[in-house]
Structure 1
């Protein structure tokens, strides 16, 4: 069996009396897209915070390539190839799209900033927007650029927190297509409420409810899982 490139064991996060993440264990193997689903308040975004280094866990461990990074700062994780999209950094609205990407390359200690930045422009489908100010982009295009910033760091592992949130159908379809094109080339953990997108994209799915894992498996296994159907998907969606 392929060893996980990113794994967590017994991960826990307390906020006072609230246990937001409660003993979560999971692993991502190289090249897979692993989705995390669950109702609002299930602990999904907190889990992303713990994996990215934005929050320190109350208990448990985070391993990257077998190395314990549980207490490692976010910027150190980025340099090791683990990046969180959309909250990784703020866009510079008065800089061009290309300049934003070049800064991301430079910030991660990369070389040949302009060359790599232009390559990522092509990857994210914004080749025609390189000279446009980032602040003038449409909402969906800003999300594309934010994903490009994570890619520009050279990240091998992407943590995507609700990348389709607030998008019209056409914009969401572009993001789904972009993520689909990255499958197999990057290891991806995806948190998303759009179940059509999740079941289209995911190799495996983990379901959280009240901070705990109630099921983990293939999309077909999750569709059929009785507890997931009751807690989140609903009979009509899961049928």
Structure 2
């Protein structure tokens, strides 16, 4: 009788404090992206950059931040498949287009990050193009960085990965926690050496990575924005 009473009490506790339901990045985009894009396009047409930034901040903070990323399967240029569910640490997913001119200083800084945070974070670069073109771009990255590609001409391309391009384009950088939650988005990821911006950009990335690694909760509400 006593055991039954305990079980009954535990059952009541679980009903009183239900576990928080997970929200997922792709489903949140499905609900909110169309409205965001419509309003954002109006702001851009009006030349109102502050409003465009405000709309993105609102979308991210209210709907995308801490949303969960479903398992993504990516083709590696060295062969085989990378499944994000198997990654046991935080990671950066940097998306690129093969027609983008990727400057040497950006590659050098990404290589520097991979060495500085080796064993703490994984860096994945995703090229939206064929394996041949992605491989041509990959030769200067060091071996700590995983280079992947998605050829959208292939009908087998996962519907789970496509929102990463069609929502915010490329280049972009998604900061994803060990628990597979989205922490930050850099919508215009680029590192340039003009006016010493390479070091400024690296310092900004460094601060976000430190936040990602060493803080259980956000210390502020800042997010990475376009570096111009």
Same fold judged by TM-score > 0.5? Answer: no
Q: Which has the larger radius of gyration?
A: 2
More strand by share: 1
**Which of structures 1 and 2 has the larger relative contact order (alpha carbons within 8 angstroms, sep 6+)?**
1
More helix by share: 2
The TM-score range, normalised by the shorter chain, is: under 0.3
